[in-house]
Amino acid sequence: MKQFEGRVAVITGGASGFGKEFARTGAALGMKLVLADVQQDALDAAVAELKAQGAEVIGVRTDVSRGEQVQALADAAMERFGQVNVLFNNAGVGAGGLLWENSLKDWEWVLGVNLYGVIHGVRIFTPLMLAAAAQDPTYQAHIVNTASMAGLLSPPAMGVYNVSKHAVVTLTETLYQDLGLVTGQVRCSVLCPYFVPTGINQSQRNRPTDLANDAPPTRSQLVSQALTDKAVTSGKVTAEDVARKTFDAIREESFYIYSHPQALAPVQQRFEDIIGQRNPGDPFADKPEVRAGLVAALRG
């Protein structure tokens, strides 16, 4: 897709982080915008900001873990603008800790947003895009699913998050293959960012009360949260940088999008371990002090 002006973008998690920067970039390119977010006040503020800049935009409060709400989002987009050209399945949350210490509610919350949010987006919006493509040979569309470098690696004390993002990577790879069987007008990409200051480390603020844990956080969960806070807030690549790279990838029809391509060495090592039938290597091999600190914190 080379032309963005006048095209319609739907962005989940659109009130903060990557989503907000996707919206800002899209607005600067003349796109019409549909922002979805579970946090109403942040959503209202993002819509107001974009309208003040002259963008044509609506906001739809959406819990992406609920299929009926994603359907309502699609209905609102079609009612207002008549089509969707770019879908950013971007809403995401984070949780950590040793795998066996995560509660069922942890799994339901993280997989609900990170995985089922993407599932609902793909199953609801893709048919709309294919129908538009069948009616108009000039129509083009693109789906961007936000995964993570954690979808290509398996770092410790991040199991729930890792599982959700690995699933998004393979889902999007399969979507790429499936779309290629039926059309050349609808494309897709997977975004795999590393640590970027987006606020995802504060995602507990929007955790539903019915999925809140009864017990206090474990030692490993507190340690994981502290490490994530430090890594996310100290990131040098900005969400704006990532948004710019993502739009470049849409233009160039590039599938894999990385915020830190220089950090792919552990991914290569992982696949070499798989091919060589070796036991999983140390994901902190290049930063042994991180592993040492994690071991010390967990063992007390």
pLDDT in tens, 5-58: 999 999 999 999 999 999 999 999 999 999 999 999 999 999 999 999 999 999
> Can you give the pLDDT at residue 46?
98
Tokens of 134: 């069948």
Span 53-68, pLDDT tens digits:
999 999 999 999 999 9
% of the chain surpassing 70 pLDDT: 100
Q: Which of 161, 176, 194, 256 is catalytic?
A: 161
Average pLDDT over residues 275-282: 95
> Can you give the pLDDT at residue 27?
98
> Can you give the pLDDT at residue 153?
95
Average pLDDT over residues 172-179: 98
E strands, 25-178, in order: 32-37, 57-61, 86-89, 141-146
Per-residue confidence band for 290, with pLDDT thresholds at 50, 70 and 90: confident
Sign (positive or negative) of CA dihedral 80, 199, 98, 161 = positive
> Can you give the pLDDT at residue 81?
98
Question: 80 phi and psi, to 5 degrees?
Answer: -80, -45
> Can you give the pLDDT at residue 130?
98
% of the chain surpassing 90 pLDDT: 89
Q: Are 269 and 281 in contact (CB under 8 A)?
A: yes
Per-residue confidence band for 286, with pLDDT thresholds at 50, 70 and 90: confident
DSSP 190: E
Average pLDDT over residues 135-160: 97
> Can you give the pLDDT at residue 227?
86
Active site annotation includes 161: yes
Average pLDDT over residues 94-98: 95
> Can you give the pLDDT at residue 199?
86
What is the rounded average pLDDT for all residues in the chain? 96
Per-residue confidence band for 285, with pLDDT thresholds at 50, 70 and 90: confident
Question: 137 phi and psi, to 5 degrees?
Answer: -65, -15
Tokens of 21: 């920067």
pTM to 2 decimal places? 0.96
pLDDT at 89 over 90: yes
Span 101-124, pLDDT tens digits:
999 999 999 999 999 999 999 999
> Can you give the pLDDT at residue 31?
98
Per-residue confidence band for 133, with pLDDT thresholds at 50, 70 and 90: very high
Average pLDDT over residues 75-98: 97
Alpha carbons 118 and 203: distance in angstroms, whole number: 17
User: In sequence order, which ranges of 217-258 are alpha helices (DSSP H)?
Assistant: 219-233, 239-252
pLDDT at 178 over 90: yes
> Can you give the pLDDT at residue 300?
75
Span 190-240, pLDDT tens digits:
999 998 989 888 889 999 999 999 999 999 999 999 988 988 998 899 999
List the domains of the chain with CATH numbers: 8-263 (3.40.50.720)
